[in-house]
């Protein structure tokens, strides 16, 4: 895959978001222990950015992110799903870290979010290459 025209949409200590308008693809790279307020602000920004730019493919790397609180997990799931249920998203690939608590927190967010009628498929991966391959595989 050869991506060109990649723009940085957001750069903070705990998150980097990049976007390729040509591919309609969004990458989020989250890291560290993120306090509630900045986490929620960044998640709102990401969800709104996906809507505003008619993003179709998302890869989110949680490899170095510590699990958010249960309250934040619930807020992220319901707030993001309320916005993204109206999106053009087709696929979301989550790259997980090896921390079981982090994996459980992402699963919890997904379980809550999928109570909304979301237009996309979502899968969890341990490796970025596998996630990227699935995102661009039109056969599955």
CA distance 84 to 134: 20
| CATH number for position 113 | 3.30.750.24
pTM: 0.89
pLDDT greater than 80 at residue 2: no
Number of domains in the chain: 1
Q: Is the dihedral of CA 63, 69, 72, 77 positive or negative?
A: positive
The stretch 122-135 carries a mean pLDDT of: 94
Chain segment 59-111, per-residue pLDDT in tens:
999 999 999 999 999 999 999 999 999 999 999 999 998 888 888 998 899 88
Residue 106, in any domain of the structure: yes
Quote the mean pLDDT of the chain.
Answer: 92
DSSP output for the chain: ----S-EEEEE-SSEEEEEETTTTEEEEEEEE---HHHHHHHHHHHHHHHHHTT--EEEEEEEEEPPPPHHHHHHHHHHHHHHHTTS---EEEEEP-S-HHHHHHHHHHHHHHTTS--SSEEEEESSHHHHHHHHH-TT-
Percent of the chain residues past pLDDT 70, beyond the cut: 96
Residue 1, in any domain of the structure: no
Residues 89, 59 contacting (CB under 8 angstroms)? no
pLDDT greater than 70 at residue 127: yes
Range of the domain at 49: 7-136
- pLDDT, residue 6, reads 86
Residue 2, in any domain of the structure: no
């Amino acid at each position: 895959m050869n991506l060109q025209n990649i723009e940085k949409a957001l750069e903070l200590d705990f998150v980097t978001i990049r976007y390729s308008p040509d591919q309609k693809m969004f990458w989020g790279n989250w890291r560290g222990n993120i306090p509630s307020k900045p986490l929620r602000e960044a998640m709102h920004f990401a969800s709104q950015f996906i809507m505003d730019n008619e993003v179709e493919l998302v890869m989110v790397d949680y490899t170095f992110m510590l699990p958010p609180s249960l309250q934040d997990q619930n807020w992220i799931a319901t707030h993001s799903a309320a916005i993204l249920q109206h999106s053009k998203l087709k696929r979301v690939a989550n790259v997980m870290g090896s921390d079981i608590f982090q994996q459980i927190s992402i699963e919890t967010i997904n379980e809550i979010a999928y109570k909304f009628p979301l237009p996309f498929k979502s899968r969890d991966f341990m490796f970025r290459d596998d996630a990227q391959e699935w995102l661009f595989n039109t056969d599955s």
